Structure 1
Amino acid sequence: MVVNGINVTVNGLSHISEQEIASYIDCVEQKTNERVSSLDLSPAENGKVAIEYVLQPQKFERIRRITGYLVGTVDRWNDAKQAEEHERVKHGLH
């Protein structure tokens, strides 16, 4: 099922409402400060609910060390520095 745009799998909890599921989603997002991608709910001991979740991937900017500078992009470099970066030998990962 989909609740608030999030794929939710409910195993063995036939009495659970969409409002309760939305509350679990809110709880996870507040605890992690990140958006939930998917949520699995199942019964746990003592009448509790086991929650397993996957968070949405984080966006990140690539940062490289080029000629002594930590940079994300080289678009603001002058022509000489960009040419120097272009001519460098780039080593691949194995």
Structure 2
Amino acid sequence: MVVNGIDVTVKGLNDVSEQEIMSYIDMLEEENDENLSSLTISPAEDGSVALDYVLQPAKFERIRRITGYLVGTIDRWNNAKRSEEHDRVKHGLN
């Protein structure tokens, strides 16, 4: 089932309500400061509930060091600085 855009699987438990699932999602996202991609709820050996989850991949911005400056994007550069970046030797990872 899908709850709030998160793929949720419940294994071995018949009485898990959607409200309880929402509470688990809120708790996990608050603990991790990340959004969940998927959640599996199953019984644990000690009688509690086991929560197995996958977080959505973190988004990141590429940072480059160009002429002594750390930059993420070059959209605010003038033509001379863009030309300088274009003419740089780019090394591959072969």
Instruction: Say whether the fold is shared (TM-score over 0.5).
Output: yes
1:33 and 2:33 aligned: yes
Structure 1 window deviating more from structure 2 (24-33 vs 75-84): it is 75-84
Distance across 2 between alignment mates of 1:77 and 1:26: 41
Show the counterpart of 2:42: 42
Bigger mean CA deviation after superposition, 19-28 or 75-84: 75-84
The separation in 2 between residues aligned to 1:74 and 1:35, in whole angstroms, is 29
| Deviations, residues 24-81 of structure 1 (Å, cap 9, x unaligned) | 1111011111111110111112211111111122222111111211001122222222
Provide the TM-score with structure 1 as the length reference: 0.90
**Alignment coverage as a number of residue pairs:** 94
Partner AA of 1:3 in structure 2: V
SS in 2 for 1:40: strand
Q: Sequence identity of aligned pairs in percent?
A: 71
Give ranges in structure 1 of 5+ residues lacking alignment: none
For 2:75 and 2:29, how far apart are their aligned partners in 1?
36
Instruction: Find the aligned partners of 1:5 and 1:87 in 2 and give their Cα distance.
Output: 44
Q: Please give the TM-score of this superposition, normalised by the length of structure 2.
A: 0.90
Letter of the 2:64 partner, please give it: R
> What's the RMSD between the two structures over aligned residues?
1.2
Q: Which runs of 4+ in 1 moved over 3 A?
A: none
